[in-house]
Amino acid sequence: MKRPLAYRAASLLGMNRAARAVFAPRLLVLCYHGACEEAPDVQDPDGMRVPLRVFEEQLDFLVGHYRPVSLDQVRAHAHADASLPPGAVLVTFDDGYRNVARHALPLLRARGVPCVLFPVPGAVEAGGWLWTSDLEWRYVGTPGYAGFRRGLKALPVRDRRRWLDQHLRNGEPGPDCDYSLAGWDEMVAALASGLVAIGAHGLSHQPLTTCDEPDLSEELGGAKQLIQERLGVEVDAVAYPNGAWSPVVVAAAREAGYRLGFTTVPRHVRLATTP
């Protein structure tokens, strides 16, 4: 309750407007995940699925107070010092959920707002859910779930995969719901709008800081290659799963041919931020 009151007070005192003016020269990147209808039809403990009514309100606010930009503009800014408009904002979607293609993209197109999709191509190819979604489906609500999930994500990738192979559905399709991922055909249709760019989110959504060198190469290089083969587009942007990165991960991403990497640090992009 305290946080909404603080936001309301900041708005009434004009602090939001002042902050937008101060940070206008800096890029803001918004990371969305799902876009549900009135409410998610699955468990959503982290609040990652935005109801369409709320998403539409947010888009109208962005169009009224910011300047939505494309991935091409951000790339040119990062690598060629091209200028961005004041109040530049890049809209992105991690994971590649089908509800984004169905619900969010039409709202973006109607307003001419570009966006970036970061799918997980290994899961798309298998026709199943992300392992994180399957984990929620089976275990959310059980005592100690949040701590168990954190511990599982912290395991070395080989140990985590062994556990997942033993306890989850191993890529088998689940029911059509807000956990479902967009297929390749839906991404082809999204690209046809001209407002959608595609990046990668790892081959199988493994936290990259838990990967050794061969697994890093597979997660980063394999994701890039598979998306390029299926969609016929160049992929040079990666959203690090869970926002987890390290100097080793960044070096591996650069080696795999990525030119932009996105994490989840809650601030505007600074002048000294590396691509």
Confidence (pLDDT) at 18: 77
pLDDT > 60? residue 1: no
Write down the residue that tokens 């000294």 correspond to: 272
Average pLDDT over residues 112-137: 96
Quote the CA–CA distance of 260 and 237 in Å, as a whole number.
5
3-class secondary-structure state, position 102: helix
How is the chain split into domains, by residue range? 26-262
Residue 28: phi and psi, rounded to 5, are -115, 135
Q: List, in sequence order, every residue forming a beta bridge with 118; answer none if it has no partner.
A: 94
The set of residues, in sequence order, having a beta carbon less than 8 Å from that of 10 and lying 6+ positions away, is 16
Rounded to 5°, the CA angle 148-46-155 comes to 30
pLDDT > 60? residue 14: yes
pLDDT > 90? residue 15: no
Residue 50 CA: distances (Å) to CA of 41, 98, 157, 195, 268 = 12, 13, 30, 21, 22
pLDDT in tens, 37-61: 999 999 999 999 999 999 999 999 9
Q: Report how many helices (DSSP H) and strands (DSSP E) the chain contains, helices first.
A: 14, 9
Positive or negative: CA dihedral 262, 30, 27, 16: negative
pLDDT > 70? residue 7: no
pLDDT in tens, 134-165: 999 999 999 999 999 999 999 999 999 999 99
Quote the CA–CA distance of 247 and 17 in Å, as a whole number.
36
Q: Note the CATH number of domain 26-262.
A: 3.20.20.370
> Which tokens is 32 given?
């969305």
Question: In this structure, which long-range contacts are made by residues 52-58, counting pairs with CB atoms below 8 Å and at least 24 apart in sequence?
Answer: 52/103, 52/104, 52/107, 55/103, 55/104, 55/107, 56/107
Please tell me the least confidently modeled range out of 5-9, 78-82, 125-129: 5-9
Beta strands in the chain (DSSP E): 28-32, 34-36, 49-51, 67-68, 88-95, 115-119, 196-198, 237-239, 260-262
Confidence (pLDDT) at 162: 94
Burial class (CB in 10 A: 0-12, 13-18, 19+), 11: exposed
pLDDT > 60? residue 9: yes
pLDDT > 70? residue 201: yes
Mean pLDDT of the chain: 93
Quote the CA–CA distance of 109 and 190 in Å, as a whole number.
10
3-class secondary-structure state, position 199: coil
Looking at the chain, the whole-number percentage of residues with pLDDT higher than 90 is: 85
Average pLDDT over residues 209-216: 96
pLDDT > 80? residue 219: yes
> Which tokens is 233 given?
């587009």
Average pLDDT over residues 245-273: 94
Residues 44 and 133 sit within 8 Å (Cβ to Cβ): no
